[in-house]
Chain A
């Protein structure tokens, strides 16, 4: 029997989580307060048929720093892990992220993917992203992607042409960017919770410079 476990949290801390046999672990983390020391979160797969869906939503403002690392350690067959991170960086905020997918010799039939998308909303924000792959087995599907960019001016222009003012158009696009993976992992009730958190957090941000 497959069982699903959901964790919703608002901080990342150094720890190793053992993913159990036949378990699907959905791990959603909402981050809008930075920290100093690099936090290292490891998901270790020692049992078969386990899956992790990891989603991090990050809103950085002022001088907040987000130094973090995720490690996906695949030691046995038939495991799956999907990591998505979305960062919206305002002011002088910084994200420093290393995401490693490690597939050992014994981990056949692994399927894993990691994506880090960053929206740079201030010229003083900084992104340092290192998505790594260490693959020692050929029976795998593994990949990663990273994108770093700004608000699409054409989309913003379109929304303005439909009657939204500049600020509302931008907020709508930022929210859409941050919220777009929620529906893949969460039910409607939990989606709502996160959406509210995003809205609250964005309210506190000075959007003049965006």
Chain B
């Protein structure tokens, strides 16, 4: 028995609606012209931001690297990116605000529609909101400010905390890491800067929300998180954009330093519209007894190429990556994880799940490396793929490079469809075919979703839910 037609149709209809596709009319205060990336554009961005000389030099050097490096030949199809058409910098307002009432109405309304101010009141310790190239709003609970926590736009942090900024900026991901980290280093703008002092635990999550609004926009935010000894923080980012017929580019760099005994969780719910290329470099260094946890959910975008990395630098460090990818029609989710064991007594875990439907393509691409000299290493990697129809595609490319003998490493991967037996069983228990299919998809994604803070879990469940109303017949 094949999967019944009605289920196939239902699956096809699910998630075809993108509710964040609305546009906001907004006149930029300043924007760089199209026609390709030049030295003048980089200089204009830097002078507009009144940056110190070293940052301008850094940007110009990165620009040279960007021009020299070839486009990656692996992964997804990048031929649709036109660097000539992109606006590299677009400033929507003069400077970041700390009160929503000061944010221009059109921008504020956008974030109201996305539910950000409401979420902030309910369950967040701090919020940042980026519109185009700049953080338009940033705030942090007063008690945390008193404890010495810094949660600022990265641009503001460069002005306010120049020393600590210079010490860590570009150290985890240098400009020459790859073509897109070089691009980001040349034209970066916005993003969050977080510093958590020794021993401070931030109980509620900090959130940043990234919105691309203009057409042909390039968003290049730069995030730097430093968790000092024995501290902990959970950072959540969300991203959406309007649907345009032309393509936009989002290319962020996220650097995280987790010091001795600290813990950082970085949660992403990526839901870009399907005209956005999402090419992001994310990496964390975890030191003695520290723990880094990436929770990565990719639902949107045209093409995502993102492999959150953890370098375990000192004994006792632990790294974990859990990811969920959903590839629908015309989408390619090329996601994964990289873990490098550079020290003894370190452990890691990767759980990757992907769902492909409607000719969507999802790829797991991962690296697990044990460097020479790193002993007593434990690591477990598992990848599961669910194919919802015959037109979709799923790939798995895990790489394991092991240069030591005292290791225990296991990897497993499976690819499957919704089983007829599973459907049949659930239907025999009284569920309709649609409810059964829905339960199976939700059950598949649940191990990842349950790691999310409750409010996000509900949202993601709703996104994934196979609603049956009006879909049969």
Contact = CB atoms under 8 A, between A and B. Distances in A.
B404 interface: yes
B112 interface: no
Contact of B409 (A105, A121, A126, A148): A148
B411 A142 contact: no
A145 interface: yes
A147 B410 contact: yes
B414 interface: yes
B400 A146 contact: yes
A118 B417 CA distance: 30
Contacts of B414: 142-143
B398 interface: yes
Interface stretch (A7-15, A128-136, A156-164, A199-207): A128-136
A145 B394 contact: no
Contacts, number: 106
B174 to A, nearest CB: 25
A131 B409 contact: no
Contact of A128 (B387, B392, B399): B399
Contact of B385 (A122, A126, A135, A145): A135
Contacts of B413: 131, 133, 143-145
Nearest to B408: A149
Contacts of B401: 126-128
Given A121-B405, A133-B394, A138-B387, A145 B412 contact: yes
A131 B416 CA distance: 17
Contact of A133 (B375, B396, B405, B408): B396
Interface in B376-424: 385, 387-390, 392-417
A135 B411 CA distance: 18
B400 A127 contact: yes
A139 interface: yes
Interface residues of A, number: 33
A137 B387 CA distance: 8
Nearest to B367: A130
A147 B409 contact: yes
A30 to B, nearest CB: 23
Contacts of B416: 140-141
Contact of A138 (B375, B389, B399): B389
- Residue from B392, B397, B404, B405 having most chain A Cβ neighbours under 10 A: B405
Given A138-B417, A141-B416, A143-B414, A132 B397 contact: yes
Interface residues of B, number: 32
B390 A137 contact: yes
Nearest to B364: A133
A150 B408 contact: yes
Given A120-B405, A137-B390, A139-B390, A130 B410 contact: no
Nearest to B2: A139
A125 interface: yes
Contacts of A118: 402
Given A138-B387, A138-B388, A130 B405 contact: no
B412 A135 contact: no
Interface in B110-158: none
A152 to B, nearest CB: 9
B66 to A, nearest CB: 29
Contacts of B396: 131-133, 144
A126 B393 contact: no
Contact of A150 (B394, B400, B407): B407
Interface in A170-184: none
A135 B399 contact: no
A145 to B, nearest CB: 4
Interface of A: 105, 108, 118, 120-123, 125-150
Given A129-B400, A142-B415, 8 more contacts: A123-B404, A132-B395, A133-B415, A134-B395, A137-B387, A139-B390, A145-B413, A148-B410
